[in-house]
Amino acid sequence: MKNLIIAVAILALFAGMAVARGPQEATPVPYTGEQSRQGTIVWLDDMETGAPGWTHGDDSAMPTYWHIDTYMAYSGSSWWCGTFAYDADGGYGNSWTQYLTSPYVDWTGYTYPVLWYYFRNDTEIGYDFSFAEAESMGSFVALNRGYDGVIPWGQAGYYIGNKDNPAKVRFAFYSDAAWSDADGYYQSVGGAFAVDDIEIEDYTTHTVLFTDDADANVFMTPNVPPAAGDFWSLRSDLCHSYSPTHYWACTSPDTITVQPNLQNWLKTPVIDISSYAPTTPCTMFFVHQMFMSGAYGGSWQEWGSNDGGATWVRTGWWYGDQCEYGYGMCYDAFLGVIPISWSGWTGTQQVQGKIVMLTDAMGNGPSPYCNATGLNVDDTWVEVYEPPNPVEETSWGKIKSMYK
């Protein structure tokens, strides 16, 4: 289970280092009200006045990446779930859910239908998986255990006579929210997944019921899930709020499940700190809870901007487990930290924070505590740590000084 961060510790940001997931993990410290508010608070919102200036949205809509290509093909052309957008030898991106689906195939009258195909794979081990799937009781179920790592071209076959009839088969690829060719942490060669010479054959009579060779016979269709939708909303209750009673919640409206394929972002208003020196350290804090299993891709990202949202720097990436992080029934508080402005950043000193809720293709069910799921955010504030720049006295100030 990915417990915590694809870390982005503050010291690593100062040093310009890329911090990998794995052994470099940390344990969140419950918030007691003493770890922050050591500087000057220049903005605070406890969500009790409608959270003016906050915005939220959904980035889960994606293009289809399955396509016919001769690159690293098995024979002639092959179906490839990949792109050259990230590097010259081909690869894949984060948070992909990609399908390649057949039309309905009917094997009535045949006793042993088998799905045959050739495939190759290059994906991050343990996190990004490729599947062969078939319809069973109206839903797609996996035929294999999930391909990951580097697998050269080879053939696979699965009996599908115990699935729906008629039914569709499909090839699916699912990547989690980090480590791919897109961010450079996992660099595949021709990733993620490719298939060729797809057949459904009755093994007893050797009758071919369906074929797609990505050359003369092309019947498979690339498709992706619809956009997940934006599930951030202001809620009000005592159980989930840190300072009663309002808070931001990213979960489905019934507060029982978290939707699959989320890339839901929540942005603070833009806060002007231009009265302070450009080198002034500036940090955004937010108090939150997370009820979401990392095993289901539940995670959140933290981003900061110093130019009013024109450009962003990712400052943290955390994976959640049920009731492991956050305030409420398990901890009094969990404090999120977004370092925003220092000499290493350039911008207009119009600072802004962004929190992104991510899930995989499965979504998640409820927590046993407070009927809670997903990510909740309450009190949020910005602190600076140096005095303001000296400014010329106003005319009124000069006049007053004459009569002191």
In this structure, which long-range contacts are made by residues 215-220, counting pairs with CB atoms below 8 Å and at least 24 apart in sequence?
215/75, 215/76, 215/77, 218/68, 219/102, 219/103, 220/66, 220/79, 220/100, 220/101, 220/102, 220/171
Q: With 0-12 CB in 10 A as exposed, 13-18 as middle and 19+ as buried, what is 342?
A: middle
Question: The pTM is what?
Answer: 0.76
Of 262, 261, 90, 80, the closest CA to residue 180 belongs to 90
User: Each residue's pLDDT tens digit in the chain (404 positions)?
Assistant: 333 333 333 222 222 222 233 222 344 556 666 656 678 999 999 999 999 999 999 999 999 999 999 999 999 999 999 999 999 999 999 889 999 999 999 999 999 999 999 999 999 999 899 999 999 999 999 999 999 999 999 999 999 999 999 999 999 999 987 889 998 999 999 999 999 999 999 999 999 999 999 999 999 999 999 999 999 999 998 877 888 999 999 876 655 677 888 899 999 999 999 998 888 889 999 988 877 655 556 788 899 999 999 999 888 887 765 445 444 444 556 888 899 876 667 788 999 999 999 887 777 665 555 556 678 899 999 999 877 665 444 443 443 343 33
Residue 224 CB coordination number (10 Å): 17
Q: With 0-12 CB in 10 A as exposed, 13-18 as middle and 19+ as buried, what is 175?
A: buried
Residues in Cβ contact with 4 at an 8 Å cutoff, skipping those fewer than 6 apart: 25, 26, 27, 28, 318, 319
pLDDT score of 34: 60
Positive or negative, the Cα torsion across 82, 87, 316, 312?
negative
Strands 97-101 and 113-123 come out as unpaired
The owner of tokens 């000296």 is 390
pLDDT score of 23: 23
CATH numbers and ranges of domains, the chain? 4-60+229-384 (2.60.120.260), 66-223 (2.60.120)
Are the beta carbons of 364 and 293 closer than 8 angstroms? yes
Are the beta carbons of 145 and 189 closer than 8 angstroms? no
Gap between the Cα atoms of 276 and 72, Å rounded? 55
- The torsion angles phi and psi of 12, rounded to 5 degrees, stand at -65, -35
Distance of CA 314 to the CA centre of its chain: 12
- The torsion angles phi and psi of 196, rounded to 5 degrees, stand at -155, 165
CA atoms within 13 A on the CB side of 206: 0
Are the beta carbons of 265 and 356 closer than 8 angstroms? yes
Gap between the Cα atoms of 368 and 359, Å rounded? 19
Report how far apart, in Å, the C-alpha atoms of 29 and of each of 271, 302, 335, 358 are.
27, 17, 7, 22
Supply 117's token pair.
Answer: 């195909």
Strands 193-202 and 113-123 come out as antiparallel
pLDDT score of 57: 97
Query: SS3 for 402?
Result: helix
Radius of gyration of the chain (CA): 26
Gap between the Cα atoms of 197 and 74, Å rounded? 8
pLDDT score of 368: 53
